Amino acid sequence: MRIVITGASGFLGARLARELAARAALVDAQGTRRAIREIVGVDSVAAGGDAGAGPPITRVIGDLADPATIERVLAPGADTVFHLAAAVSGAAEADFGLGMRVNLDATRRLLDACRALARPPKFVFASSLAVFGGALPDPVPDDAPLRPQTSYGTQKAIGELLVDDMTRKGYIDGRSLRLPTVTVRPGRPNRAASSFASGIVREPLSGVDAECPVTPGTRMWVISPRAVIDNLIIAHDAAGAAFGDTRAVNVPGLCVGVGEMVDALREVAGEAVAARVHWRPDPVIERMVSTWPANFAPVKGLALGMRGDSDFAAIVRAYVADDLPRG
């Protein structure tokens, strides 16, 4: 199989490439488990490191909104596309044109290129819980209406509908995963409105103070990097018929208050580390985060075999084990 990963230099893309290289096989659109012969990682910036043992990884640097980049990546064919590349929520809200170009135009061009392939590929689209908003039941069911309250959420909702329609037409075998907020992300903060959910753990564990722009009572639907990667692969390998009348699925997560996240940090690392978190509410961030539902009933995701995390302390411990810089 030839696998394409967009956003491959990002945190999740790089981790997914390593996991696929280690597993070395996936289930194709015909339901057959096949060896992965090549992984193609495309991004606007270069990736560091490699995947270690396993199928070779081809690196492509380019703009997905540029048809030439998509042609270069997909012309040799693809059995699967993992579409993870995106302009994050804060960036898409601050720059409407950027969000439309990266989150919508590039997705449309990528889907069109898949439609032109000789054999329909599997297409795994990283969507977001930001497709929901407004008055919602608690917990949010799988079939809740899409009422995004941000440009990012709107762009992701349109992407989901395109994936559904092109699957209906037989151009792709699609599945859209509405990802919870992923924490703890290693590296530097980004412009996602949810970036603080990693920063309030990552920075204190590295000896650096962190500001939290929302109140301790703010609740979020979160997931660990380990669980996200497992769920991406589970969704990929699942039979299309298992998704029912829409290929979109709410990924299982953990409903937790931000204050409880800091309490979990205190449990794992001690009071001195937790004391590095300072509460400084930012009305802009609070307004965006408040539009995101914080509790879900992910029946379809669980039926597909996906899982969330047991508690936030386990997420902190996983970050310490997997990603905390040493020395």
What are 202's two structure tokens?
């990552």
Q: What is the pLDDT of residue 52?
A: 45
Report pLDDT digits (tens) over 167-187. 999 999 999 999 999 999 998
Taking each continuous run of H as one helix and of E as one strand, the counts in the chain are: 13, 16
Give me the percent of the chain exceeding a pLDDT of 90: 80
Q: Which active-site residues does the annotation give?
A: 152
Q: Is the pLDDT of residue 48 over 80?
A: no
DSSP letter string, 218-271: -EEEEE-HHHHHHHHHHHHHS-GGGGTT-SEEEPP-EEEEHHHHHHHHHHHH-H
Which pLDDT band, with edges at 50, 70 and 90, does 327 fall under?
Answer: low
Q: Residue 51 above 90 pLDDT? A: no
Spatial CB neighbours of 90, under 8 Å, sequence gap ≥ 6: 190, 191, 192, 193, 195, 285, 288
- Reply yes or no on whether the pLDDT at 144 is more than 90: yes
Q: Is the pTM of this model over 0.85?
A: yes
Under the banding of pLDDT at 50, 70 and 90, the label for residue 213 is: very high
Distance CA 8, CA 64 (A): 12
Greater confidence, 268 or 51?
268
Q: Residues near 100 by Cβ (< 8 Å), separated by ≥ 6? A: 151, 155
pLDDT per position as a tens digit, 156-166: 999 999 999 99
Percent of the chain with pLDDT over 70: 97
Give the span between the Cα atoms of 142 and 130, in whole angstroms.
14
C-alpha distances (whole Å) from 265 to each of 170, 307, 317 are 47, 22, 9
Nearest to 175 by CA among 104, 121, 230: 121
DSSP state string for 133-161: -SS--SSEETT------SHHHHHHHHHHH
Dist CA 182 CA 114 (whole Å):
28
pLDDT tens string 113-126: 999 999 999 999 99
What pLDDT band is residue 86 in, cutting at 50, 70 and 90? very high
* Residue that wins the pLDDT comparison between 293 and 296: 296
Can you tell me the mean pLDDT for 284-295? 88
Query: What average pLDDT does this structure show over 136-143?
Result: 93
Distances (CA, A) of 113 to 42, 148, 210: 15, 27, 43
- pLDDT higher at 254 or 292: 254
Confidence label for 49 from pLDDT (cuts 50, 70 and 90): very low
3-state secondary structure of 318: helix
| pLDDT for the residue 270 | 98
Q: Which residue has the higher pLDDT, 177 or 192?
A: 177
Cα separation, 301 vs 117, in Å, equals: 29
Specify the pairing of strand 219-223 against strand 254-257: antiparallel
Q: What are phi and psi of 19, to 5 degrees?
A: -70, -40
Q: Yes or no: is domain 2-180+222-250 CATH 3.40.50.720?
A: yes
